[in-house]
Amino acid sequence: MEFDKEVDATGLNCPLPILRCKKGLSEINAEQVLKVISTDPGSVKDFNAFCVQTGHQLLQLDVDEKTFVFYIKKRTI
């Protein structure tokens, strides 16, 4: 999947992956896609809840071994 910015949150535990995601989203424009890489198993639940609460769209989740890759489309303002 194509993306506009990547955030690497590997090795970080809650809430740091979400905080890095928020910072990454603040650095891109509406409708652009942020790729977030995480190794925290709780991040799947956290990112789903985060997207529902904030209006951003979780486009895709890829799981490879213990790595989770999220593609999040920034909401329109």
DSSP H helices, 1-77, are 16-26, 43-54
Catalytic residue among 14, 16, 44, 61: 14
Domains, the chain, in order of start with CATH, read 5-73 (3.30.110.40)
pLDDT reported for residue 77: 77
Percentage above 70 pLDDT, the chain: 100
Q: State pLDDT tens for residues 20-48.
A: 999 999 999 999 999 999 999 999 999 99
Residue 9 has pLDDT above 90, yes or no: yes
What backbone torsions phi and psi does residue 65 show, to the nearest 5 degrees? 60, -110
In the numeric block, which tokens belong to residue 50? 């985060």
Q: State pLDDT tens for residues 44-56.
A: 999 999 999 999 9
51 is catalytic: no
CA distances (Å), origin 44, targets 9, 22, 30, 73: 13, 15, 23, 16
pLDDT reported for residue 64: 92
Q: How far apart are CA 4 and CA 23, in angstroms?
A: 14
